[in-house]
Amino acid sequence: MLTRVKSAVLPLKFPYMRPQFLGLSPDEIECSADHIARPILILKETRRLPWATGYAEVINAGKSALNEDQACCEVVVARRRPMSYCPPTPSKTPAAKRRNSLPNGESLGEGFVFHYWALFDGHAGSGTAVAASRLLQHHIACQLQAVIEVLRNAASLPPTILGEEPNVDGPYVQGNTPGPHRTLTRAASLRGAAGTPGSPCSTPPPPRFFTEKKIQHESLVVGAIENAFKEMDAQIEKEKQVYSVTGGCTALAVVYLLGKLYVANAGDSRAIVIRNSEIIPMSTEFTPESERQRLQFLGFMQPHLLGNEFTHLEFPRRVQRKEVGKRMLYRDFTMSGWAYKTIEDEDLKFPLIYGEGKKARVLATIGVTRGLGDHDLKVHDSNIYIKPFLSCCPEVRVYNLTQYEHGADDVLVMGTDGLWDVLSNQEVAEAVTTFLANCDPDDLHRYTMAAQDLVMRARGVLRDRGWRITNERLGSGDDISVFIIPLMYGNRQP
């Protein structure tokens, strides 16, 4: 059970909605929230997304009243302006109008255009997911503003000091003593060599040489995205004081800029590239099990965060009082394997991480370890906050589109965990590849139809024993959202 700090009733900054690009009326949104029929929503025939991207979604089977997934797909301009310019709210220009008035990915006189796709999977309310779907792309644009000129200058490595020319002639030299350079060894310095502190000689010190890391332009984009996630999380925390921003959400965002796809994931959504029937994973799920050592280390270093109710150690099961004094399997943050330890009274506390697979929980409360929001989330019936154990920092992976010539069936598939809980990477790849092979390559709607087919496969069919998929396996009862992005359009960008 998720327990949150009670507060006065606050106004909404962003009302509940479905993705703006679907163009749904209020009546259509209401009809889409049918937990029995679970209609699959897709793009209307008259609408198009950048790169002919396909999208489909379906609501859960009753887990929550609303569809807590959110999605965004836009073409965004990062203009050359001071960082202080960054707007806290999105432009009031309709998304469709912004997309239609922008070129397809080339740099502008004042900035860069980047393509953006994102999925947000909310929990304990849809407020954070809705806010992130409206704002994260603007934080990314804001972070890119500071490095636009550096990114433009592809011929030179980024300078260590912004505004200075990068050093390309060798190691960085401190000091400007004329004449031949003489390297000062540590031993000579300790002996009081000429020019060193304490030396009787007043000769000026020789220049000192420092090696300098060579930072690539790609790393600046990765850093901009990482900082954008942190700024987004900070904005949510700040605005919770004046607005109702419920729950938290995972975030999976893709940015196309200068020939590369940057896939940023914080949570348990997933992205894969399907290229010539080959599967290339583009994200890692962050769960209590995958981040066990990070979480245990935090609990070890800051035991007050455990509230004297939890132990940072992991055991195969709950320790019973009768087992005190016996030797039992355990592991801590230093271990990937298991060992035996003598059980003490301290070990009777509830484990920081408990359960397996989708049932694994942090502090007996939450099943994801990265995402946005959750600032007021507490352990049930206690005063222990969970946010210190949750990270808003994404893992960013890069896919260089220019290294390959992509065909019409080569795609990037993004999906919330409702898809991946019931279908493997291989099943998704086979389904998408088979569907696209049977479509007209010139039909721009084919990717939306492929997304619809994928959601239908994961949702399944309602039978007497619930939603069922292939081989009578249990279908997904979760919200499901899917983007299918054809990669061939990336090869066509300037």
Q: What is the pLDDT of residue 246?
A: 93
Instruction: Let me know if residue 86 belongs to a domain.
Output: no
**Angle at the Cα of 223 (from 221 to 224), degrees rounded to 5?**
65
Identify whether residues 66 and 134 lie together within a single domain.
yes
Least confident of 13-17, 33-37, 194-198, 262-266: 194-198
> 168 lies in a domain?
no
What's the predicted TM-score (pTM) here? 0.87
CA-to-CA dists, residue 326 to 322, 344, 410, angstroms: 9, 9, 57
Find the domain containing 320 and state its range.
291-367
Strand, coil or helix: 243: coil
**Rounded (10°) CA dihedral 102, 130, 224, 54:** -50
Please tell me the predicted confidence (pLDDT) of residue 162. Answer: 85
pLDDT at 275 over 80: yes
Q: Which of 303, 332, 367 is the last residue of a domain?
A: 367
Q: For residues 263 and 400, is the Cβ–Cβ distance under 8 A? A: no
CB 262 within 8 A of CB 221: yes
Clarify whether residues 130 and 262 are in a common domain. Answer: yes
- 307 and 277 assigned to the same domain: no
What rounded mean pLDDT belongs to the chain?
Answer: 87
Crossing angle (nearest 10°) for helices 446-459 and 425-437? 140
Given this model, what pLDDT does residue 167 score? 62
The string of pLDDT tens digits covering residues 57-107 is 999 999 999 999 999 999 998 876 554 446 554 444 444 444 433 334 444
| Per-residue pLDDT tens over the stretch 184-228 | 455 544 555 445 555 555 666 666 666 788 899 999 999 999 999
For the chain, the straight-line distance linking the first and the last C-alpha, in angstroms and rounded, comes to 50
Can you give the pLDDT at residue 187?
52
Q: Is residue 476 part of a domain?
A: yes
Strand partners, 415: 270, 482
Q: Looking at the domain assignment, is residue 353 inside a domain?
A: yes
Residues 132, 275, single domain; the answer is yes
pLDDT of 290 over the 90 cut: yes
> Of 120-134, 196-210, 236-250, which range is least confident?
196-210
Where are the alpha helices (H) located in 73-155, listed in sequence order?
A: 95-100, 127-145, 148-152
Mean pLDDT over residues 432-455, rounded? Answer: 95
Percent of the chain whose pLDDT exceeds 90: 73
For 153, 295, 312, the CA distances from 315, given in Å and listed in that order, are 54, 15, 10
Contact assessment for residue 459 and residue 40, using Cβ atoms and an 8 Å cutoff = yes
Asked whether residue 339 carries a pLDDT value surpassing 50, the answer given is: yes
- Does 454 score more than 80 pLDDT? yes
**Of the candidates 395, 368, 394, the residue with the CA atom closest to the CA atom of residue 295:** 368
Q: What span, in angstroms and rounded, lies between the C-alpha atoms of 260 and 255?
A: 8
pLDDT tens digit string along 295-333? 999 999 999 999 999 999 999 999 999 999 999 999 999
In the chain, the amino acid numbered 452 is Q
Same domain for 119 and 142, yes or no, is: yes
CA angle (30 as vertex; 1, 40 as ends), nearest 5: 85
What average pLDDT does the segment 102-114 reach?
A: 58
- Please compute the mean of the pLDDT values over residues 446-465 and round it to a whole number: 96
Give the domain CATH number at 33: 3.60.40.10
Q: Average pLDDT, stretch 333-338?
A: 97
Are residues 253 and 301 both part of a single domain?
no
Asked if residue 63 is part of any domain, the answer here is yes
One domain for residues 281 and 297? no
pLDDT at residue 383 greater than cutoff 50: yes
Tell me the average pLDDT across 389-397. 98
249 vs 109, 238, 266, 292, 469, CA distance in Å?
36, 16, 9, 20, 27
Q: What percent of the chain has pLDDT over 70?
A: 83
Contacts with 353 (C-beta within 8 Å, 6 or more apart), sequence order: 288, 289, 292, 295, 296, 314, 360, 361, 362
- Tell me, yes or no, whether 342 and 466 share the same domain: no
Asked if residue 178 has pLDDT above 80, the reply is no
State mean pLDDT over 127-151. 95
User: Is 167 within a domain?
Assistant: no
Q: Which helix (H) or strand (E) holds 235?
A: helix 217-239
pLDDT for 474: 95
State residue 85's pLDDT score: 44
Q: 412 and 271, same structural domain?
A: yes
Q: Which residue carries 């929980």 as its tokens?
A: 361
Residue 31 in domain: yes
| Domains: count for the chain | 2
Q: What is the mean pLDDT of residues 131-155?
A: 93
With respect to residue 327, please indicate whether it lies within any of the assigned structural domains: yes
Q: Are residues 278 and 334 in the same domain?
A: no
Q: Does residue 248 sit in helix, strand or coil?
A: strand
3-state secondary structure of 151: helix
Return the structure tokens found at 426: 């291989």
Please enumerate in sequence order all residues whose Cβ is within 8 A of that of 320, keeping only pairs 6 or more positions apart, or say none: 348
Q: Does 139 lie in the same domain as 247?
A: yes
Measure the CA–CA gap between 459 and 58, rounded to whole angstroms: 8
Model confidence at 437: pLDDT above 80: yes
Verify that 318 and 415 share a domain, yes or no. no
Q: CA 467, 469, 470 angle in degrees (round to 5)?
A: 155
- Model confidence band, residue 486 (pLDDT cutoffs 50, 70, 90): very high
Residue 44 pLDDT > 50? yes
- Over range 396-410, report the average pLDDT: 95
Of 20-24, 150-154, 404-408, minimum mean pLDDT range? 150-154
